[in-house]
Structure 1
Amino acid sequence: MSFISKLQLMNKPQKHQPSDSKIFFYGRISSAILVSSGALAIQKILQTKVGGTIPLFLLSYPAVFGITGLCGMIPGLIATTITGLGVLYFFIPSLDNNVIYNLADLLSLGIFLVVGVASSMLIPSIQIKQTQAKLAAASESLKLYELMAMHCRDIILFIRQVDGKILECNKAATLTYGFSHEEFKSLTISNLLADQAPSHTHDLKSDTNPNGMLWESIHRRKDGSTFPVEISSQAGVTMGETRALISVIRDISKRKKAEETLLTTGEHLRISLASNHMATFDWDIIQNKHTWDNIVHELFGTNPETFRGTTEEFYQIVHPDDLNCVKEAQNLAIKTGHSKVDFRVIWPDGSHHHISSCKKVYRNEAGVAHRMIGICWDVTEQKVNEKALRLATESWLRTFDAIPDLIAILDSQHRITLVNKAMALRLKKQPHDCTGLFCYNVVHGLDAPPMFCPHSKTICDGHAHMEEVHEIHIGGDFLVSTTPIAGDDGKILGSVHVARDITDRKKMETELRCAIESQEEFLAIASHDLKAPLTDLYLTLNFMEEIVKQSPMDQPQLFDMISHALKSGQQLVVLLDELLDITRIRAGKLVLEKEDMDLKSAVLEWVSIVSTEARQKGSQITVKASDSVVGEWDPVRINQVISNLLSNAIKYGEGKPIEVTVLADLQTKCAKLIVRDQGIGVPLEMQSKIFKRFERAVSDRMIHGLGLGLYIVGQIVHAHGGSISLKSEPGKGSQFTVLLPLSDIECTLVDV
């Protein structure tokens, strides 16, 4: 017998006993006769009362149809015939002198009988077709039930209720337990139970659970292995003469494992939360009921006996400045489903504690937020450490930015990760704008690292390197050092690139080198210039001694020798005075003793003094001066200026005319002294240096001098508040112009 046949058998109605069937049949006929008779009687009474003949179809025919449909074909025929004949021949005639009415009544009787017979035959056939259609639909449904049962993943067993014997099973049962279909029919439900599983056989045999039973148990497979199951049994099923129950058994191994995993995970989570001092809370949003664990009170500093954990109580312990943030986080969680917030709580002792909280919201079937769960933990120490770290970082950054050296942190690809303000300022960018730029591009203006790049060397060998670099792109000379930055694995990640601006140092080195060279030249010139007059003086005196010893000397010859010796001594005095003046100027001790003096008279006096020397050189000195030019100056120092300028004009004038001009410039309120020669001139590149120490217009060793004269002249003029300038063209001579203030205001040279 197939599975579906058994299902049909289970749902087939039970047969009635013969005695019950006869009583039911006679009862149907009697009911039909009574209904038909009543319908005809009413019909006739209405005709009698109203008058005329009322058509039978008004009441009689509907009664015939109803009786036939209710009682079936045979009872319908019998009831219709008996009623028609009995009523017309016995009941109706008694009302009208026992005679049959006219032909219309006979015709009505015939129609009544024909309709009754036709209805009794037609209606049951229609009922049979409807029943067959219902049976076909039921058969299709049973086929679907069979497919569902056979291919259902759950195990389906039909069990005899009286002794628990398995009557039928689906395919899932054979696959799960390992028994064949025939083997299952030899088993009872007890054979499937594991040794440690409780038996529910007694409950299954009883009918005390009309709604069925649901329980969990442990079953055993054919190979002896066990597995947890969930059993749903329903009693009251009949298979033929046998009362049975249907059991749906589900393998819940995966569910049990998931439950065990969930239980273990929950325990681990509880232990983890407790070990990390994290608290949990559960808020029934609709009922406004909170559930807190004990750790919450440790975090909030509340008393578990008095703190009920309501929203209002919670808000009271939150720091006022953080209350809005907490409320916004709760609203955000209700709106989006989750949120996180950091806030402070105030303990009873007034101390502030930082709390971090995460929340998740659950919604009911209507989409309304009804539950919020979350965790919270103390982050006070973390906040303190973050603040200390922030302060340390800010302090480090301030120190980093205060360093005047140009510092950049570079990665292994020459990209800038951090710069200080000095470097950013030199690059003409903001510090954050430098991040990610290639150093060789922004510093050197190149598309690749230069050959001398110390950072490249550090990345290659992992050692510190140092280079002196002259960089035009950012302007200046730099001493660049790179120190490697290594990761935990020792791999070089980048370097600290420090560039110290040594432009001033290089300039000082150049100046020092030039000063040393000038000093060496000075020493050479000084030794030569000091040696010459000393030698002359020594030889002259020695010669005079020999002449005096050998013979009397005539007076003219002696006078010439003494004059020559005095001249040599005078040269020594001039050289030594210049050295002393340099010393005074360097020490800032050049003292001026001012008094009223006539510049014109001083110039004429010095012209007369040097005129003999000028004539010997072939030069003629001409003085252009109208009125006296009187000012308050130091006579000694001004005479020194006049003497030096005239001596240079004679020395470099090549025997050509020299012109000296003295006048008062009312526009600038200054006295003007101009000394012009037509000699060798001063090269253009030397004109800016000629007023510096140890500088001379020419390097001719035949022209004596230490190169200090014009430097001293310039210092004297500036000390008086005046100025000195030079206009010269090589081969055409030079013109020195000195401006001296007539009063205490400074004079500035104005080109005209």
Structure 2
Amino acid sequence: MKKYSKYGYAILAIPLSILLRFAIVPLIGYGIPYIMLYPVTVGVALFAGMGPAVLTGFLGSIITDYFFVSPLHTITLDVSHITRLSIMVLTSAFVGYVGDMLRAGRKRAEKQALVLRDSETRLNRSQEIAHLGSWELDLVKNKLTWSDEVYRIFGLQPQEFSATYEAFLEAVHPDDRTAVNDAYSSSISEGRDIYEIEHRIVRKATGEIRYVHEKCQHFRDETGRIIRSVGMVHDITERKQAEDEILRAKQEWERTFDSVPDLIAIIDNHHRILRVNKPMAQRLGLDADKCIGLPCYQYVHGLDGPPDFCPHVRTLKDGCHHFAELHEERLGGDFIVTTNPLYDEQGRSIGSVHVARDITERKKAEAHIITLNEELKRKVDELDAANKELEAFSYSVSHDLRAPLRSVAGFSQALIEDYHGKLDNEGMDFLNRMVSSTRRMGVLIDDLLNLSRVSRTDMNRVNVNLSRLAGKIVKNLKRTQPERQVEFIIADGLFTDGDEHLLNVALENLFGNSWKFTGKLQKAMIEFGETIKDGNSVYYVKDNGAGLDMNYAGKLFTPFQRLHKEEEFPGTGIGLATVKRIIERHGGRVWIEGEIDKGALVYFTL
């Protein structure tokens, strides 16, 4: 339809030319009859082509002759009319042909321009994706041209301003600017056709530093003079960052590899050393790089082949983890050696990772432990013997020593009763002292036996309610002297892990001491509780009794050490020594604080 519409335009052009010719009749008359047909035919030729132009020329010539050539309003087929018709048709054909050629040329030019624009778009897109820009410097015209991607690489909007060499140098990092300028200038002055360089640039708007790789090629005229330089700018920031990351990872791996105290060697399938860490190289007495390629059995073991115990050989055979314990004089000690298989990218075995851990000190420690165990066994045997002797002594004390003591006490008491009237006062006083001393001796023997039992009794650890034990002890004390006015303060819910019998003995001694040393007060106070010292739980028994001189506090936990006379406060000096042994058997410690006449405070931990 589009093709035939052109012929419609050609037919419509004919009446247009006729009407225009009629319009100028008043001006020029009927002379030059084709004056309007020619331009109309040329217009049809340029617009619609040769066919429509010929149609317009042919029909227009006939109609023009009819209206404007004498005789008017007639169609005459004579030589002059046929000649004018032929000339008009040929002219129309020629103009139409020229119009077709011009139109075809324009279409080719438009198509080439479109292809060029598409190519340029694809090139710009490709450069943008690859972060690869291009530039060209015309040395004759001193004109520099950047592609859009060069602008983007430099942090600018494409074609933001006319590129100049000075603007380029200004964007180069100050530390690299001289090197970049020298690279370009020297390539021209030295006549080199190609140069390339890596350097940094600074994006002016953000201050961001980017890395680029530039490559340039020079072109010469027929005389050999460089007239044009063409180059590319490749943004390699991500690559540099990746390389830096890889380098850092490599350095970190090497630092870790060399920092491991174990002796590490990577060994191939032929028992050759591929790599060692610093500790391994130091044991071999070589630099790490000098160890590469050495047979491990020769330089590690001083042998001509792999030893029978070699775990590396077993790993090569079955691809499994293996280990061996050995003593190696060349490495200076005892080692546990482990090997793990090593594979390449295709999963093929290429050797093993050989790790030797120095256990020399551990072996020495084990030998020392064996010696200590033997010594401990000997000490235990000696202690068992001593305990048996102590048991025999305790039996002797409790039986052999008590018998004569009872006899002395009994006969003394009989003399007092039977010879009361026959002895003077001094004799009676001597007998009373003898009875008192034998009783005190009996108490002392009992306390010594109790102290011995505390040290030898087997411990049965359970959860012990200390508050309940303290309550029972208080009831027993009150029954001994119900007339005394004593305020007891017992904290509730005090539990611990220990031997209930021994802890009861310890509390009886502590409460007994407080009861005794507050005996001369009208209103006494005894307190049992728990506190925190240095982040640890500490129990205490506190009273407001006679107190003590802290200069002698350290002596109180030694057997038979007392700070008061027998007449003031009776006792044997065994109680606090018994407490100390019980607390120490529970892994704790005990200490005392106080002032004279201001009471005492005994702390203990468990």
The reply to whether TM is greater than 0.5 is no
Greater C-alpha radius of gyration: 1
